[in-house]
Amino acid sequence: METQNIRFYYRGKVQEASGQSPTRTLLQYLREDLRCTGTKEGCAEGDCGACTVVVGELDNKGDVDLRAVNACIQFLPALDGKAVFTVEDLRQPDGSLHPVQKALVDLHASQCGFCTPGFVMSLWGMYLDHKPGDPPPSRQHIENVLSGNLCRCTGYRPIVDAAEAMFDMPAVPLDRKALAARLKTLERDVPLTYQHGDQVFHAPRTLAQLAQLRVAHPQARILAGSTDVGLWVTKQLRHLPELIYIGQVAELREMSDDGKELYIGAGVLLNDAYGELVSHYSELDEMHRRFASYPIRNAGTLGGNVANGSPIGDSMPALIVLGTRIVLRQGERVREMPLEDFYLDYQKNAMEQGEFVQGIKVPLPRPAQRFRTYKLSKRFDQDISAVCAAFAITLDDRDIITDARIAFGGVAATPKRAALAEQALLGQPWAQEAASAAMDALGQDYTPLSDMRASSAYRHTTVKNLLQRFFLETRPQAPLEPAQTSVFACAVAS
């Protein structure tokens, strides 16, 4: 097997890397090999944001897509053909500060300064997204963008103030056309195969190449955004001998809507996937904002979250109650199944050898459908769920429940439907009596464990309380507004 060098654009030129482990992180390479130490290492798991950089790549139209991501969990070969920007790149030719940096200085938004480069890069990513003539970003959007950056001494008020003030300064645009031309010179005619020692990194460029590789190397680990697999290396110190990276497969980043269902390819990034889902299901807006953090959603994929099948994965309960089907591929064979049937047991699924997730199909909203999803955790932003709930019912013209689907994450070995509670609702008027009967049935549907996130008793109580909240928000007579049931909705409204 002939190995190829890793090539990416950084600091005005093409960098070529070789002799590196395929699981060496971008952060390690920046600091230890290129000696660009502005990017900091804090948690090494994508939580603190000190390592935030901006990565640019060509989209399907040939334009440059720029996103803030965590360098500490991005494997170096995954940057092949892309552009990397760090805080060093913001230095202006005359030595002056970029508006992002100047606003942070002027508004005293840095104390110890360790986290500041990460904040700078997250804000720069937002700065690049802002087009001349657009209204300034809302405070909620700023807080959303900064959800993956932690500061322990400055406080967030001056940082958010700086995010608003930077747009009042003379603009410093990025020449995207020139960057796109540079990146086009890095495009490969053949897939990247990179090998070091006993480790191999494959980066197929087409769906057919991926299917062929997966059959030939069924034991290889499929890598998408590295938001989970990256921690296997940085925290668990696992040795991964063979990786198949799907980030270069354009077909896996396709989304389509045929009027009946939304198709989301397995490689669609979480922010893009949730953005499209929210356009159809506005009830998913809060879950979108609370799913991990902004830079994690800029790297991770919805297909990866579904394939991982974690019992605390926040996407699965909502997708299950909406009737989502998962699309699996093995060579030339493609098959589908209901998403809930994909999960067999803890960390065990129905995928066969040589098979991979190609995408998911989400039915579009139906008339008379009531849908909600809720997340309970110790923080609003960037926290693992103690309980994640989703409810969907359909009512007839007499408010009788003709279909009921309930699913929870965090209370069983897999994301799981509540069969007994659903049966208690079917055929009943959507009234307090039916809701109470279903709440009682939930005690038989789940026997939750206690762990560091929550006790069994807490989960046992809250699964029932969340069903009661769903009833109060969707009952036919005098349903409660979100601001009456959620302190977060109150904060947004104010």
Per residue in 201-225, pLDDT (tens digit) is 999 999 999 999 999 999 999 999 9
- Residue 57 predicted with pLDDT over 80: yes
Higher pLDDT among residues 489 and 192, named by residue: 192
Whether residue 201 is found in the same domain as residue 52: yes
Q: Average pLDDT in the 151-170 region?
A: 95
Q: Average pLDDT in the 238-248 region?
A: 97
- Tell me, yes or no, whether 240 lies in a domain: yes
Range of the domain at 214: 6-88+178-245
Whether residue 78 is found in the same domain as residue 23: yes
Whether residue 457 is found in the same domain as residue 400: yes
279's enclosing H/E stretch is helix 270-280
Contact criterion met (CB below 8 Å) for 120 and 70: no
- Tell me, yes or no, whether 353 lies in a domain: no
Whether residue 15 is found in the same domain as residue 140: no
Chain segment 98-140, per-residue pLDDT in tens: 999 999 999 999 999 999 999 999 999 999 999 888 999 999 9
pLDDT the model gives residue 480: 96
pLDDT the model gives residue 48: 96
Q: Average pLDDT in the 271-296 region?
A: 97
Whether residue 81 is found in the same domain as residue 166: no
CA 153 from centre of chain: 27
Whether residue 410 is found in the same domain as residue 486: yes
Is the pTM for the entire model greater than 0.85? yes
CATH number of residue 224's parent domain: 3.10.20.30
Per DSSP bridges, beta strands 387-395 and 401-409 are antiparallel
The burial of 200, by beta-carbon neighbours within 10 Å (0-12 exposed, 13-18 middle, 19 or more buried), is given as: buried
Contact criterion met (CB below 8 Å) for 67 and 55: yes
* Integer CA distances (angstroms), 448 to 183, 280, 388, 439, 451, in order: 50, 32, 13, 15, 10
Q: Average pLDDT in the 227-254 region?
A: 97
Per DSSP bridges, beta strands 242-245 and 221-223 are parallel
Any idea what the Cα angle at residue 416 is, between residues 413 and 420, rounded to 5°? 120
- Tell me, yes or no, whether 354 lies in a domain: no
Whether residue 77 is found in the same domain as residue 163: no
- B/e letters for 125-134, b = 16+ CB within 10 Å, e = fewer, are bbbbeeeeee
Whether residue 402 is found in the same domain as residue 473: yes
Contact criterion met (CB below 8 Å) for 371 and 438: no
- Tell me, yes or no, whether 12 lies in a domain: yes
Q: For the chain, what is the domain count?
A: 3
Residues 6+ apart with CB under 8 A from 412: 311, 446, 448
String of DSSP letters for 282-305: GGGHHHHHHSS-HHHHTT-BHHHH
Chain segment 314-352, per-residue pLDDT in tens: 999 999 999 999 999 999 999 999 999 999 999 899 999
* Integer CA distances (angstroms), 385 to 242, 287, 303, 382, in order: 31, 11, 19, 10
Q: How confident is the model at residue 196 (pLDDT cuts 50, 70, 90)?
A: very high
- Tell me, yes or no, whether 130 lies in a domain: yes
Of 145, 171, 197, the residue that ends a domain is: 171
Whether residue 199 is found in the same domain as residue 81: yes
d(CA 10, CA 91): 14
- Residue 493 predicted with pLDDT over 70: no
Q: What is the mean pLDDT of the chain?
A: 95
- Tell me, yes or no, whether 128 lies in a domain: yes
Whether residue 30 is found in the same domain as residue 132: no
Whether residue 44 is found in the same domain as residue 136: no
Of 110, 137, 171, the residue that ends a domain is: 171
CATH number of residue 138's parent domain: 1.10.150.120
- Tell me, yes or no, whether 319 lies in a domain: no
CATH number of residue 473's parent domain: 3.30.390.50
Whether residue 238 is found in the same domain as residue 127: no
Q: How confident is the model at residue 489 (pLDDT cuts 50, 70, 90)?
A: confident
- Residue 252 predicted with pLDDT over 60: yes
Of 128, 143, 171, the residue that ends a domain is: 171
Contact criterion met (CB below 8 Å) for 116 and 38: no
- Residue 84 predicted with pLDDT over 70: yes
- Tell me, yes or no, whether 318 lies in a domain: no
What residues are paired with 403 via a beta bridge?
394
Chain segment 323-333, per-residue pLDDT in tens: 999 999 999 99
pLDDT the model gives residue 347: 87
Chain segment 387-435, per-residue pLDDT in tens: 999 999 999 999 999 999 999 999 999 999 999 999 999 999 999 999 9
String of DSSP letters for 393-460: EEE-TT-BEEEEEEEEESSSSS-EE-HHHHHHHTTSBSSHHHHHHHHHHHHHH--PPP-SS--HHHHH
